[in-house]
């Protein structure tokens, strides 16, 4: 009879955050497939687990998935773990799961930590709906294009970010999404855990001042587009002219103010221009 593939969440910093069930599964399976065996060995040692480990990572995941599949088909139980948190969440794991499912094998989740959920629940931002966008592109051009795509999503936006890019990403977000409330959750579950709240520009300035080299692991959360997510009554109070006027008051020229307003409203620039002209002819501000 074929074995089972377990997808096991492991701590994101604090070694105590491994569930009883995860400990049992990691001790009972035949193989623990690790993103990095040396890294996960520390966790296994902490719990006195002696299970055999093999490595899988993004560079060998496809080949390794076939090998793991063969092991499971032969009746062995396999657990996959990543360096931290939940496999597959901005980490390798997806291919192994997909391959096992395609082969008709049983795949069982062993729930536990993931940085984005831990960050969201203490953010104070609305979490009834959120959009997790993984890591933003490293290059500013691609990052800004991605942010422009995300600008119209009426949910809290969540990203993972590397410390050396935090200032540039917050500044690009401010530029593309407009000023919004945001939260950066840093070093969750670790000694220097810190939750920083403020507007995008304030947080960018804070990290810029922080010795120019912010440290640690970070989750960035940005409040939803308040215009798009407003109820219909509130929405009707917004007109293109007042949003354009807001941007012009911030110092943007008429062309940029219109472009930014269109983005905030989730409409094309042509549509924004048509509405602006109509509003002005009706005598709105």
Q: Do residues 222 and 177 make contact, with C-beta atoms less than 8 angstroms apart?
A: yes
Q: How far is the CB of 15 from ligand SAM (least distance, A)?
A: 12
Phi then psi for residue 88, to 5 deg, are 90, -20
* Contact with ligand SAM (CB under 6 A) among 5, 7, 8, 12: 12
DSSP code, position 147: H
Task: Give the x/- contact pattern for ligand SAM in 88-107, rule: CB under 6 A.
Answer: -xxx----------------
Residue 114 binds to ligand SAM (criterion: CB under 6 A): yes
Task: Give the x/- contact pattern for ligand SAM in 202-221, rule: CB under 6 A.
Answer: ---------------xxx--
4-8 and 106-110 strand pairing? parallel
Judged by CB under 6 A, the stretch of 24-32, 140-148, 184-192, 241-249 that binds ligand SAM is 184-192
Q: How far is the CB of 265 from ligand SAM (least distance, A)?
A: 30
Residue 100, both tokens: 């096992």
Buried b (16+ CB within 10 A) or exposed e, 9-22: bbbbbeeebbeeeb
Q: How far is the CB of 164 from ligand SAM (least distance, A)?
A: 11
Dihedral sign for Cα atoms in the order 135, 137, 138, 143: negative
Judged by CB under 6 A, the stretch of 65-73, 139-147, 160-168, 243-251 that binds ligand SAM is 160-168
Measured distance CA(58)–CA(35) in Å, rounded: 8
Residue 161 binds to ligand SAM (criterion: CB under 6 A): yes
Q: Helix H segments across 32-165?
A: 37-46, 61-73, 94-102, 115-121, 140-150
Residue 24, both tokens: 């049992």
CB atoms under 10 Å from CB of 74, counted, come to 10
In total, the chain counts a number of residues equal to: 285
Nearer to ligand SAM, 116 or 170 (CB): 116
Nearer to ligand SAM, 184 or 244 (CB): 184
Residue 228, both tokens: 């798009």
Judged by CB under 6 A, the stretch of 24-32, 70-78, 155-163, 244-252 that binds ligand SAM is 155-163
* Contact with ligand SAM (CB under 6 A) among 84, 150, 173, 177: 84
* Contact with ligand SAM (CB under 6 A) among 183, 185, 243, 244: 185
Q: How far is the CB of 243 from ligand SAM (least distance, A)?
A: 32
Greatest Cα pair distance, the chain, in angstroms, is 76
CA-based end-to-end distance of the chain: 73
What are the residues binding ligand SAM (CB under 6 A)? 12-13, 82, 84-86, 89-91, 114-116, 160-162, 185-190, 217-219
């Amino acid at each position: 009879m074929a074995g089972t593939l377990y997808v096991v969440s492991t701590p994101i910093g604090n070694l105590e955050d491994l569930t009883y069930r995860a400990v049992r599964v990691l001790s009972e399976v035949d193989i623990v497939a690790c993103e990095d065996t040396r890294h996960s060995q520390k966790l296994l040692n902490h719990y006195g687990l002696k299970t055999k480990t093999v490595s899988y990572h993004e560079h060998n995941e496809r080949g390794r998935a076939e090998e793991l599949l063969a092991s499971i088909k032969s009746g062995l139980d396999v657990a996959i773990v990543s360096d931290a948190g939940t496999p597959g969440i901005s980490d390798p794991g997806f291919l192994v799961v997909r391959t096992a499912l395609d082969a008709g094998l049983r795949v069982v989740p062993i729930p536990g930590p993931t940085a984005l959920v831990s960050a969201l629940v203490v953010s104070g931002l609305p979490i009834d709906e959120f959009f997790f966008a993984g890591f933003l592109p490293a290059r500013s051009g691609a990052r800004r294009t991605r942010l422009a795509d995300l600008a119209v999503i009426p949910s809290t936006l969540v990203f993972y970010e590397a410390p050396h890019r935090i200032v540039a990403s917050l500044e690009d977000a401010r530029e593309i999404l407009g000023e919004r409330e945001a939260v950066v959750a840093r070093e969750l579950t670790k000694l220097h855990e810190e939750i920083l709240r403020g507007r995008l520009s304030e947080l960018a300035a804070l990290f810029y001042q922080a010795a120019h080299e912010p440290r640690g692991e970070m989750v960035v959360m940005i409040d939803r587009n308040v215009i798009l997510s407003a109820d219909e009554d509130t929405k009707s109070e917004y007109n293109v002219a007042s949003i354009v006027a807001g941007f012009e008051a911030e110092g943007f020229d008429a062309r940029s103010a219109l472009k930014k307003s269109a983005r905030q409203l989730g409409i094309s620039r042509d549509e924004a221009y048509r509405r602006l002209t109509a509003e002005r002819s009706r005598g709105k501000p």
